[in-house]
Amino acid sequence: MNHKIHHLSHTDLDGYGCQMVSAHYFNSIAFYNSNYGKEINECFNQILNNIQTSSLQKHVILITDLNLTMDQAKEFESKVSICDKEIMLFVLDHHKTGQECADAFEWYFLDSSRCATKITYDFFSALYGKNAKLSKFVDVVNAVDIWLENEPEFELGKVCMGLVSGAKEVNKVMFPEENSHYIFSLLTKAQEYFTCKDAHIALDDAIHNIKKQFFVTSTNNTLSNLVSAYNVILLTKNRERMQIMYKEYKGILTYNIGNVSVIGNDFLTANPDLDFFMDITSKKTISLRSNGKVDVSKIAAQIANGGGHHNASGGLLSNFKDAFIYDTIKSQVMSIIANKG
């Protein structure tokens, strides 16, 4: 296929399972992940922006395991039709609530008897050939996603489902490519246990080490410290894109980073020229850390009616509206700071 594929899928095991399948069959592919509602629209617009700026003329937008509303389907079809690039749009869905769209649009395929991963595998394997190892993975996902409790893969599917839902170590909004790579790595490693005796128990016992294997470099450490070190590397690599200002002070803005005390302090130690670390959450709360160069309790008080200590403070940005694209989040926070500065 001489097209660039843009694969948008859900954020659960089935959603990532669909992308594991497409990654097996194609090389020229970009991955995006979304929950339902407005987030789908934001991701779709991001895909269109990437297509518009691409040097390639031919593109495929593949949406899996996401139930579009009729308004979304109409909007997406309209936007694709007026784009000056050649775009094929198609949806592989298994949610009964998508029936209205499936009846109205020929590019919307729906089958509620299989999970989306199995639909995706059956679709591409019919064109490009079956794969025994991938087929086994698909059966595991299918057993748990449509809740086939009597299937032998069901308990293994439950463990894999928990593996994906608990993979919060790499932030999806700030680092979508790295997040996809992490989850694909976990699911690839998980398949090594599929042939073990009591495979679901063997995999469950191994999850902590599977995660550590991804993050460890030359020296072993606790998972928390390994994850912090990994995030510091990512943040440092992206610091120019993520830099914000408060008066004459330079800082970095993160979103739902988690473990702010550890990651924030480790980042500031590795980047001593920056003055503060700010994390904003989907609940509008902010956490601030400093390396002693600025009193973040004063920043918290001024922009977020908060406070705390010289090097560790927090507050609430009540007029912040949650978003799903990092640049949108950063623009909002910079505007809030400018208005209250």
Domain CATH number, residue 314: 3.10.310
Tell me if 319 is assigned to some domain: yes
Model pLDDT, residue 169: 95
Say if residue 184 is in the same domain as residue 296: no
End-to-end CA distance of the chain: 53
What does the pLDDT average to over 14-21? 98
Say if residue 45 is in the same domain as residue 167: yes
Tell me if 285 is assigned to some domain: yes
Whether residue 2 has pLDDT greater than 80: no
Tell me if 244 is assigned to some domain: yes
What does the pLDDT average to over 234-253? 96
Q: Any idea which residue has 């639909």 for tokens?
A: 119
Whether residue 332 has pLDDT greater than 70: yes
Across the chain, what does the average pLDDT equal? 96
Which residues constitute the domain of residue 144? 4-215
Whether residue 190 has pLDDT greater than 80: yes
Whether residue 258 has pLDDT greater than 70: yes
Domain CATH number, residue 210: 3.90.1640
Tell me if 332 is assigned to some domain: yes
Model pLDDT, residue 236: 97
Say if residue 110 is in the same domain as residue 199: yes
Tell me if 234 is assigned to some domain: no
Residue 285, φ and ψ in degrees, nearest 5? -80, 150
Separation CA 223–CA 321 (nearest Å)? 32
Say if residue 184 is in the same domain as residue 290: no
Cβ–Cβ < 8 Å for 70, 104: yes
Say if residue 184 is in the same domain as residue 279: no
What does the pLDDT average to over 239-257? 96
Say if residue 76 is in the same domain as residue 133: yes
Q: In the structure, what pLDDT confidence band is assigned to residue 257 with cuts at 50, 70 and 90?
A: very high
Tell me if 60 is assigned to some domain: yes
Whether residue 90 has pLDDT greater than 80: yes
Tell me if 260 is assigned to some domain: yes
Q: In the structure, what pLDDT confidence band is assigned to residue 341 with cuts at 50, 70 and 90?
A: low
Say if residue 64 is in the same domain as residue 176: yes
Separation CA 315–CA 302 (nearest Å)? 10
Whether residue 19 has pLDDT greater than 70: yes
Tell me if 43 is assigned to some domain: yes
Cα dihedral value 116, 30, 168, 320, nearest 10:
-110
What does the pLDDT average to over 149-169? 97
Q: Any idea which residue has 């790595």 for tokens?
A: 185
Q: In the structure, what pLDDT confidence band is assigned to residue 161 with cuts at 50, 70 and 90?
A: very high
Say if residue 162 is in the same domain as residue 286: no
Looking at 181, 215, 249, the residue that finishes a domain is 215
Say if residue 46 is in the same domain as residue 159: yes
Say if residue 36 is in the same domain as residue 132: yes
pLDDT digits (tens, 9 = 90+) for 192-232: 999 999 999 999 999 999 999 999 988 999 999 999 999 99
Total domains present in the chain: 2
What does the pLDDT average to over 56-66? 97
Separation CA 95–CA 115 (nearest Å)? 9
Q: In the structure, what pLDDT confidence band is assigned to residue 1 with cuts at 50, 70 and 90?
A: low
Looking at 215, 250, 270, the residue that finishes a domain is 215
Say if residue 244 is in the same domain as residue 109: no
Say if residue 308 is in the same domain as residue 176: no
What does the pLDDT average to over 311-335? 94
Separation CA 94–CA 122 (nearest Å)? 13
